[in-house]
Amino acid sequence: MNNRVTNILNIRYPLIQAPLYFLTNAELVAAVSNAGGLGTLGPHAGQESQPGSRFVALDRMRKEIRKVKKLTNKPFAATLINGPDMSFWRPTAEMLVEEGVEVVLINEVLDAEIFEFFKSHGIKTLYRALTPTIANSKEAEKLGADIIVATGFDEGGTVPSRVIGTFSIVPMIVDSVNVPVIAAGGIGDVRGVRAAMALGAEGVYAGTLFLTALENPAAEKVKRLIVDSTAEDLLLFRTLPAYYRSLPTDLSPKLAELDAQNTDRETMFKAMNGYHSLWQAMRLGNFDRGVVSTGTGISVIKSIRPAAEIVSDLMQDFL
Ligand SMILES: Cc1cc2nc3c(=O)[nH]c(=O)nc-3n(C[C@H](O)[C@H](O)[C@H](O)COP(=O)(O)O)c2cc1C
């Protein structure tokens, strides 16, 4: 397989394992990259506890990057941690340069200095707006993003604030920019890959699917729940910053109920256990204290298997 995405990223197949917070680690990322895709370290990748400060997070990310480099000599990506006040992008960016990371995912921020920094160090950039729009895609292209990720409402994690599904967002963004676009949201098997490519995407970006990889540090019961569920089981509720989806846990039906009573988003966020929600439910398996966030593509995910098998299955048309 040879296209603009494989050429820019220097990878064999145009498949990116999306960052999944601490539900990524060096083993998962290296397995994806060794299989010919691009593994991505999420913020707090590989951690056994939640970090107390951003400096701790940065130091831990450096260690996890070093672990990946021991497991693969193929390219992989890391997420830029910028922080709400933007004070943190430079220390992260400098660390990524020092560690020789070849691809960086820039979430949300459109800042010329950041794109220029990476360009001047020969690092490729993936840009992903939480809510992709024609305007933010054009702006990212103007600033020098190498590839743009177009995410539909089907995705897992923090869902876009506009209800535009993957089938609609991908061609809209493809038609707005000249750089290659990668499709994200709901891709769970080869049919999703074929659909994304037919819509003009030049690659795919999958998160939920890699939650079920053998190497993923998610709790075993979370992987089983995903494999045993369909999209019909998912609960959608409003919280900060927009919507969130969860499979039924002890907590999530209560959140759906609170939302039905028009509870404000801040109260919802607190009731969801805030940033601890995913850690508790998805890492530790404490379903009374959090949510199990997935995309709507879960109906086609049928087994827990090594990341390399997921890559070869999705990329079967390009082998
Ligand atoms: C449990 C979970 C955690 C996530 N954490 C992050 C994250 O830390 N940073 C990020 O940029 N995206 C995060 N995402 C979003 C994914 O990177 C990706 O956009 C999404 O998973 C794609 O849709 P899919 O899940 O349908 O494949 C997360 C998604 C999930 C399901």
* 47-86 pLDDT, tens digit each: 888 767 888 888 999 999 999 999 999 999 999 987 777 7
For 304, the token pair is 């827990």
The type of residue at 198 is A
Grade residue 87 by pLDDT with cuts at 50, 70 and 90: confident
Predicted confidence (pLDDT) at residue 237 exceeds the cutoff of 80? yes
Question: How many A from CA of 211 to the centre of ligand 1?
Answer: 10
- The C-alpha torsion from 113 through 117 and 118 to 120, rounded to 10°, is 130
Phi, then psi, of 78 in degrees rounded to 5:
-135, 160
Span 27-44, average pLDDT: 96
pTM of the model: 0.97
- Ligand 1 binding pocket mutation candidate from 16, 151, 155, 223 (most atoms within 8 A of CB): 155
Q: When comparing pLDDT for 55 and 270, which is higher?
A: 270
Say how many Å lie between the CA of residue 66 and the centre of ligand 1.
23
Q: Whose CA is nearest to atom 30 of ligand 1?
A: 157
| Ligand 1 geometric centre to CA of 142 (Å) | 25
Q: Which domains does the chain have, with CATH numbers?
A: 4-216+300-318 (3.20.20.70), 235-293 (no CATH)
Instruction: Tell me what pLDDT residue 56 has.
Output: 85
Q: Which residues have C-beta atoms less than 6 Å from ligand 1? A: 18-21, 23, 42-43, 79, 107, 151, 154-157, 184-187, 206-209, 278, 282, 293-295, 297
Residue nearest to atom 29 of ligand 1 (CA): 157
Q: How far is the CA of 17 from the centre of ligand 1 (A)?
A: 9
Residues paired with residue 78 on neighbouring β-strands, in sequence order: 41, 104
Please, which pLDDT band fits residue 202 given cuts at 50, 70 and 90? very high
Spatial CA neighbour of 40 closest among 196, 178, 157? 157
Q: Cα(159) to centroid of ligand 1, in Å?
A: 9
Q: Which of 17, 20, 104, 280 to mutate to test the pocket of ligand 1 (most atoms within 8 A of CB)?
A: 20
Cα(116)–Cα(122) distance, integer angstroms: 10
Q: Which is the closest atom of ligand 1 to the Cα of 295?
A: 26
pLDDT in tens, 99-147: 999 999 999 999 999 999 999 999 999 999 999 999 999 999 999 999 9
Q: Omega of the bond prior to 171 within 30 degrees of 0, cis?
A: no
- The confidence score (pLDDT) of residue 55 equals 83
Distance 191 CA to ligand 1 centre (A): 20
What is the predicted pLDDT for the residue at 246? 98
Give the residue, by CA position, lying nearest to ligand 1 atom 11. 19
For 240-269, what is each residue's pLDDT tens digit?
988 999 999 999 999 999 999 999 999 999
CA of 19 to the centre of ligand 1 (A): 6
Q: Do 180 and 137 touch, CB atoms closer than 8 A?
A: no
The pLDDT mean for the chain works out to 96
The helix (run of H) or strand (run of E) holding residue 125 is strand 124-128
Looking at residue 148, its pLDDT comes to 98
> Residue type for 252, please?
S
pLDDT of residue 57: 84
Atom of ligand 1 nearest to the CA of 128: 11
Peptide bond into 241 cis (omega under 30): yes
How remote is the CA of residue 207 from the centroid of ligand 1, in Å?
A: 5
Write the residue with the smallest CA distance to atom 13 of ligand 1.
Answer: 20
Q: Report whether pLDDT(29) > 90.
A: yes
Average pLDDT over residues 228-251: 96
